[in-house]
Each structure stands twice: as structure tokens, then as C-alpha cells.
């Protein structure tokens, strides 16, 4: 496990980080996103989706109500979940994210997932976004050493 902090000056910097992550992820990887409401978690996953090849005309929206969106257009296919409204790990059963992760065919991004790592397992990357200004963010990274090093480069 390696930790690092990156200052993001604007949305383009966040997109660049997401693109770098897209190039470093493998099928079966879990990415957990943390940070206050509006920190940029969904924005980041949207940029990651583009990096993985989801066409611009496919909207990437917050899965707050559906809990899970799948993007088969991505390579590897992308799953985006948001567990903000869940309070108990047992509620994860019907989403079956564990089975998805075990199958190892998707990249799985989970907003507010840190509370559920006992079920989901350890992420390849935990990304915590902190709002430092209107358009500036601080990204706290913790994850697989090779992956974090790639993101710092």
C-alpha cells in the first residue's frame, strides 16, 4: 500500500488524473471514492468512463437512486455504484458487487464504499477528494503501489 496527495487545480486536472487511472486499472479492480457531497466523485468516475472508452453521447450520471450503473461500452466494462444511502452491509446483498468483483471482468467504482470494505475487499485505489476551493481539489490516494506511482508520474 502506498499513499500520496495530489493537488488538482481545476476540473481538467481531475480529468487528467482519471485518464491516468484508466490506463493503469485492470479488470477486477475496485476503486473506492470518498469525500464530501460535491467533492467530485461522480465527476471523476465520469472522466474515468471516457478514459475507458465510454462515448461522449452516453451520459454518466450519479447512481444514487439506481445504486448501480453499468457501462459495457468501456474496456474493461465499468460498474459505477454509490452506497451513500446504504446503512448496513447486508443491504449490499442484492447488488452483488462481491460476485462482480470476484468474476474479475469489470472495473468497479464505488462512491462511499469505504464503510463496506469488509464485504467488498480492499480497493486497488482509495481516492479521497477534498474540496479546497471552487474548482480546486486535493486528492488523497491510497492503494496498490505500482498504481499510485503511475498516478504520481
* Nearer to Mg ion among residue 82 and residue 144 (C-beta): 82
Residue 29, binding choice from Mg ion, ligand ATP, none, Cβ under 5 to 8 Å by partner class: none
Q: Which of residues 40, 63, 113, 143 is near ligand ATP by CB under 6 A? A: 40
Q: How many residues bind ligand ATP (CB under 6 A)?
A: 16
> Nearest CA to 89 among 120, 56, 49, 135?
120
Minimal distance, residue 127 CB to ligand ATP, in Å: 10
Q: Is 14 helix (H, G, I), strand (E, B) or coil?
A: helix
Cα–Cα dist 112/33, whole Å: 6
The contact pattern for Mg ion, residues 99-118, with x = CB under 5 A and - = no contact, is: ------------x-------
DSSP code per residue over 29-76: -EEEEE-STTSSHHHHHHHHHHHTT--TTS-----TTTSEEEETTSSS
* Residue 81: C-alpha distances to residues 78, 105, 112, 132, 136 (Å): 10, 16, 9, 25, 24
* Nearer to Mg ion among residue 42 and residue 81 (C-beta): 42
Q: Which of residues 30-69 bind Mg ion (CB under 5 A)?
A: 41-42, 62
Instruction: Give the interface with ligand ATP as residue ranges (CB under 6 A).
Output: 8, 10-11, 14, 35, 37-43, 62, 111, 135, 137
Amino acid at each position: 500500500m502506498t499513499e500520496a496527495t495530489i493537488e488538482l487545480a481545476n476540473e481538467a486536472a481531475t480529468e487528467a488524473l482519471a485518464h491516468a487511472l484508466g490506463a493503469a486499472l485492470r479488470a477486477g479492480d475496485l476503486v473506492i471514492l470518498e469525500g464530501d457531497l460535491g467533492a467530485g466523485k461522480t465527476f471523476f468516475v465520469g472522466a474515468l468512463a471516457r478514459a475507458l472508452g465510454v462515448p461522449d453521447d452516453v451520459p454518466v450520471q450519479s447512481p444514487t437512486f439506481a445504486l448501480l450503473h453499468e457501462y459495457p461500452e468501456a474496456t474493461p466494462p465499468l460498474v459505477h455504484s454509490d452506497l451513500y444511502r446504504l446503512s448496513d452491509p447486508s443491504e449490499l446483498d442484492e447488488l452483488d458487487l462481491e460476485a462482480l468483483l470476484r468474476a474479475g471482468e469489470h472495473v468497479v467504482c464505488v462512491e462511499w464504499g469505504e464503510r463496506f470494505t469488509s464485504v467488498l475487499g480492499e480497493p486497488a485505489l482509495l481516492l479521497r477528494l477534498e474540496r479546497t476551493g471552487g474548482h480546486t481539489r486535493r486528492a488523497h490516494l491510497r492503494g496498490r503501489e505500482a498504481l499510485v506511482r503511475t498516478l504520481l508520474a
